[in-house]
Amino acid sequence: MSTPLVLTVMSADKPGLVESIAQVINRHGGNWLESRMARMAGQFAGILRVDIHPDNVEALRIDLDGLTHLGINVQVAVSGQADDPQLTHLHLSLLGNDRPGIVHEVSQILARHGVNVEKLDTECTAAPMSSDLLFKAQADLGIYPQTDLDALRSDLENLADDLMVELSER
């Protein structure tokens, strides 16, 4: 029997950061199952899933808290929620001119349609042959059976004339 944990990590980026976290997890017999980590603007952020024996959870929390002296901040949450079997999984791709508030507008539409954002990657890049910024988003979504996909697509496309929207099964 093991306890599933989700850890979030935040720190100024530096060599050895991941190794410090892995060392603590290993010391307590934890199994590092999956992670998403990235460096952005000199900061390091990550989220990871770990399984550990229930007797070792509190000692692991204490040792992870001890990493603050290295400037590594770790939050630990016990994960107990399984995937919802009703959800259909779709992939959303968006491309359009960047502007302030676009992520808020997109997320507002997704929330209004009861869509669960499971993964979101965004970036702004220079448009070919111009200096305009393009907003690009890739998202994995959880969609409930009652969601009207045509209405969702229409609402997203109506955000801007130049916004290209693609919804596909994943």
Residues 74 and 19 in one domain: yes
CA pair distance 170, 93, nearest whole angstrom: 12
Residues 115 and 145 in one domain: yes
Q: What is the pLDDT of residues 9-27, one digit of tens each?
A: 999 999 999 999 999 999 9
Q: Which residue reads 């669960």 in tokens?
A: 116
Residues 119 and 157 in one domain: yes
Residues 66 and 35 in one domain: yes
Across 13-97, the runs of DSSP E, i.e. the strands, are: 31-40, 43-52, 73-78, 88-97
Residue 99 confidence (pLDDT)? 92
Residues 107 and 135 in one domain: yes
Q: How confident is the model at residue 82 (pLDDT cuts 50, 70, 90)?
A: low
User: For residue 8, what is the domain's CATH number?
Assistant: 3.30.70.260
Mean predicted confidence (pLDDT) in 74-99: 88
Contact partners, residue 69, CB within 8 Å, separation at least 6: none
CA pair distance 30, 50, nearest whole angstrom: 6
Q: For residue 7, what are the β-bridge partners? A: 48, 76
Residues 100 and 46 in one domain: no
Decide if 83 is inside a domain. no
| pTM score, whole prediction | 0.82
Decide if 132 is inside a domain. yes
Dig out the tokens for 70 from the structure: 């290295």
Range of 140's domain? 88-169
Residues 54 and 7 in one domain: yes
Residue 83 confidence (pLDDT)? 65
Assess whether pLDDT exceeds 90 at residue 160. no
Residues 74 and 93 in one domain: no
pLDDT over 70, % of the chain: 98
Mean pLDDT of the chain: 94
Residues 92 and 74 in one domain: no
